[in-house]
Amino acid sequence: MLGWDVLHETNWGRLFHAYGVAEDTPGHLRNLTSELASQRKAALAHLDSAVLHQGTIYSVTPAAVRVIAGVLRDPILREPLGRKTVTLTKAITFLGDVGSSLNGIQTPDPLPQPSEAELDELILHLRSDEEGEDDEGWGSPLITVLMCQAVLSLHEMTSDVLNAIAPFVSDEMFDVRQEAINAVAEWGALQPNSADSEAVAEIIRERLGGPINRDERAGLVLALGTLGRDVSGWLEDRDEAVRACAALFVADERANFILIAALAHPDKVNTWFKRRPPFFPEHTRITLLEKLIARNVKVEQWLPAALALIADSKGGLLADYEWGPILEVAFPKEAASFKPGKRPPLPEHLTSDQHAILKGLVANQNLWDPRDGNAHLARMKVGLSDIREEVAAYVRDTPVV
């Protein structure tokens, strides 16, 4: 069952979200189709902050998904939230985020079944906790059990959700299409061998055969890869961005070379897309680098790309996602021996790769802001000082073998 009937047949007072008992959720769901943009914005904010807080599934999440998937065709959802975005886009984004959160979650088998009395007690504690009087609710092992039940419930509705989103893969609005393409891929990946998943894959293949722009072609290839379909044919695509997207799902030397070639020009990668496919939560090059590192490609094979990324990097989160991981790959022994708060000893000799990477690090003054905690941790993990001059001296004085 999908749609508004879920509102009336669900006991919302027996469910919880990130901030407590979910009795406020049905009101927000109704407001998704409000004529007031402010109420629709508040409803979407509730979904992102409470119903799926930082990717966490709560006991209320399945009921909310059933409502949203059932009302996607309501015309009011095409009303703008702002100058460019419509409510429908954000609603489908939410569904895609739920699908993404489900991928990889393992649940116990068999799963304990709580009694009504145990649930009553938990809800009572959660209500008290909202008033700052009770901290036993969130510490209850029953919370985890109910979250696992929610995950299983969401898996069971995969077919319904896929069929609800699939028509929007060919929507007239670009943003709606992009989010729908990503969402059906995330949900289809839950049951990659199902008829519904294959039907979605076929729709995507058909769209790839038409006249579409780079952003959409890349999103479609990414969706096929997420669905577990063969995308190796796009490694020969005329478009470098599409080639790189295909390479994320093909683990061979040819694909690795494509990723390395792209990362050797990180500033260019940042300009690939006018509207980045939803598959990439952050800068595109971060995902390319993550995949390359996960394949255990020796740093000597992609040293020019590593140096280009370091030269182009700034501080902040890029220390966590770009040059920090590069340091860990270049100094694996030091990174493996790291203990929080204590720098491992630096090697007495440097390889030529290590020497080049540290030299590049010293050359980029953007990476040495003493207030940058992310940069501090990235250096500490491999034993480097936070003082630029000290690292420069280490690079200068340490033998290269």
Question: What pLDDT, on the 0 to 100 scale, is given for residue 135?
Answer: 65
Model pLDDT, residue 363: 97
Examine the domain organization and report whether 303 and 217 are in the same domain: no
For the chain, which residues score pLDDT lower than 70? 129-135
**Are 361 and 246 found together in one domain?**
no
Residue 199 lies inside a defined structural domain of this protein: yes
Residues 106 and 242 occupy one common structural domain: no
Tell me if 173 is assigned to some domain: no
* Rounded Cα distance, 17 and 23, in Å: 9
Residue 353 lies in a domain: yes
Give yes or no for a cis peptide into 110 (omega within 30° of 0): yes
Q: Kindly state whether residue 146 falls inside one of the protein's structural domains.
A: yes
Confirm whether 399 is domain-assigned: yes
pTM: 0.89
Task: Give pLDDT, residue 133.
Answer: 52
Q: Residue 275: give the domain boundaries.
A: 188-297
Spatial distance between the Cα atoms of 153 and 133, rounded to a whole number of angstroms = 32
**356 and 397 belong to one structural domain:** yes
pLDDT of the residue at 203: 93
One domain for residues 150 and 75:
yes
- From 263, 279, 297, the end of a domain falls on 297
Residue 31 — φ and ψ, nearest 5°?
-75, -10
The predicted pLDDT at position 52 comes to 96
Is the separation of the CB atoms in 111 and 142 below 8 Å?
no
Q: How far apart are the C-alpha atoms of 75 and 35, rounded to whole Å?
A: 11
144 and 206 co-located in one domain? no
Asked whether residue 181 is domain-assigned, the answer is: no
Q: Domain boundary at 265, 297, 329, which?
A: 297
Q: Are residues 323 and 385 in the same domain?
A: yes
193 in the same domain as 70: no
pLDDT at 77: 95
The total number of structural domains in the chain stands at 3
Q: Are residues 366 and 302 in the same domain?
A: yes
Nearest-angstrom CA–CA distance, 71 and 50: 20
Which token pair is 202? Answer: 């076929």
Same domain, yes or no, for 197 and 237?
Answer: yes
pLDDT attached to residue 134: 52
288 plus 367 within the same structural domain: no
**Does residue 180 fall inside a structural domain?**
no
Where among 250, 281, 297 does a domain terminate? Answer: 297
- Name the nearest CA neighbour of 394 among 352, 335, 326, 346: 346
What is the Cα Rg of the chain in Å?
Answer: 24
Same domain? For 230 and 343 the reply is no
User: What's the rounded Cα separation, in Å, for the pair 356 and 367?
Assistant: 16
pLDDT value for 130? 64
Alpha carbon distance 246, 391 (integer Å): 39
In a domain, 20, yes or no: yes
Q: Please state, in angstroms and rounded to a whole number, the distance separating the CA atoms of residues 273 and 267.
A: 12
**For the packed helices 253-263 and 284-294, what is the interaxial angle rounded to 10 degrees?**
140
Res 159: pLDDT: 95
